[in-house]
Amino acid sequence: MSISLTPELEAYARRQADAGGFTSAEEFVREALRRMILEERRHEAAVSDGLRSERGPLTREELDGVRKLATGGGDTRLNFTFPG
């Protein structure tokens, strides 16, 4: 597989490779993709755990807080109510 990068992304990959101890920009890109895969798997596991939790569904206010956090708007603190 061959992937074309914009000049900006190529320069970034080369700088990161040089600064991060990678042998090449290609090695840096492979590692970045591996990290993205791991992050995606962790996210999927967290969502799955949340769906199986005893806590129950999010309230409208909690969903709005998550939406604001995800879009960069509003308060970065989330408040959730737990049973008990």
- Alpha carbon distance 23, 19 (integer Å): 10
Among 5-14, 36-45, 54-63, 69-78, which stretch is predicted with the lowest mean pLDDT?
A: 69-78
- Mean pLDDT (whole number) for 16-39: 92
| 44 vs 74, residue with greater confidence | 44
The values of phi and psi at residue 47, to 5°, are: -65, -45
pTM of the model: 0.57
The whole-number pLDDT of residue 35 equals 93
Q: Is the dihedral of CA 18, 22, 24, 29 positive or negative?
A: negative
